[in-house]
Structure 1
Amino acid sequence: LLLLLGGTNTFQADLAVVNTVTGEVVALASNAVTITAGGVSLDYSGSASFSDLPEGNYTVVISSPTNTGLLPTLVNFLANLSVATAVDVAVTDSVGYESAIISGNVLQTDAGGDVGDTGTDITVTSIIATSVPGATAEPVSSGGTIVEGAYGTLVIYADGSYTYHATGDADSVGQTEVFTYTITDADGDTATTTLTINIGLADDTDSDADSDSDSDSDSDSDSDSDSDSDSDSDSDSDSDSDSDSDSDSDSDSDSD
């Protein structure tokens, strides 16, 4: 914060409505809070209105749309001061919430040999909203990273778990949302992966087709049974599929 003493800086932060039971972000108001920092003063103001929320218990939190620069530091500072109560938030409860919310884990599926079943300490380390022109990769932390897509908002954690909240706009029905993320194992080897979400389809299905190759001094080969051999390369092959009764579908495919 000492970097702010040299002048006046203005930032825009988001307001997120989070279900206190499930931890899901069910609504997001982009740029709803204005934070002005100058000299030794720190001012904030904003307002947001949320309607058509499903029945439940919620908390409203200030979030940063980026993980770089001074804004995340300011947001954490304001969170420690519990200043969200000073922001005007109106919520209208309703069970008629039409926007779709799906959840899953990009590292854990039911099929044998999945990347989450290899026994290697694999985490999601970065992600980018591929569907958004000009988007840049953001680091993924254990506390979760909020990513604004073209048709909704994704919250993803380092352990691979995620929730996606579609905006519910009529124009988004039938569209495809794509996020590209990077996974990293304990040896520092990485693989680039995609999470694809089809919005507004009749069925919700998950399918993973993973192909990872690494160039370290050991070799592991994973299928429904585990086998190890020594060579100059690593290879993993995954083929997973899940099915749900939602109105959305998502698929993961990755290649290193």
Structure 2
Amino acid sequence: MNCALVTGASRGLGRAIAVQLAKDHGLFILVNYSTNQEAAEETLTEIKANGGNGELLQFNVQTKTEVDEALNGWKEANPDNFISVLVNNAGITRDGLFMWMPEKDWDDVLNTSTKGLFNVTQNVIQQMLRKRTGRIVNIASVSGLKGVAGQTNYSAAKGAMIASTKALAQEVAKRKITVNAVAPGFITSDMTKDLNEDELKQMIPMNRFGKAEEVAHLVSFLASEKASYITGEVININGGIYS
């Protein structure tokens, strides 16, 4: 059975992506979460309500031993299942001016996005390489392309994801594995709930925030056979803010 692993799938973008992948491709969804089991269960309930199926898989993407233990254990218990789609979505923000930024805020943001990408992808890609197929989609951000004041850590983390997407895509293209990044702008979610939407949307040519479902449709396309010749790309989805 083909499966999709979505990291940080308990809410927001991760939840929308998990639901869409189940709906469009009939994939069995591994709903990864770190601490919020209740929210992860809500994601799974929504997947099932839309006719899909899946299970929860708890691990903190920052910790390699935890990632390997969870994924290797799952693979041993499910020898006939194959994670054919990986979405590296887990990410956090700890915004603040660089000159006053605590070291922990730098480390936590970088480790969630970049070390998380390394830990999860390195485990999952082994089977993709053996089977000579796979789709990897990394959720970056407009911050990783243009840089955002007050988000030096987040911009650095997402910029690193973009660069590693381009490099890894070249390494595995011959094995029919595609690696792409999606760079959302302002999307209505838990991550943007404290922002002044009325003020910020005036900067966006489309004059609105995006919806999580709109990003999910793009990820779903990149996970499909229709996108088999697209790799190493960073696709912006931001209403024209970075055009």
Question: Normalized against structure 2, the TM-score is what?
Answer: 0.31
More helix per residue: 1 or 2?
2
Question: Max radius of gyration: which structure?
Answer: 1
Higher relative contact order (CA 8 A, sep 6+): 2
Between structures 1 and 2, the one with greater strand share: 1
TM-score (norm 1): 0.30
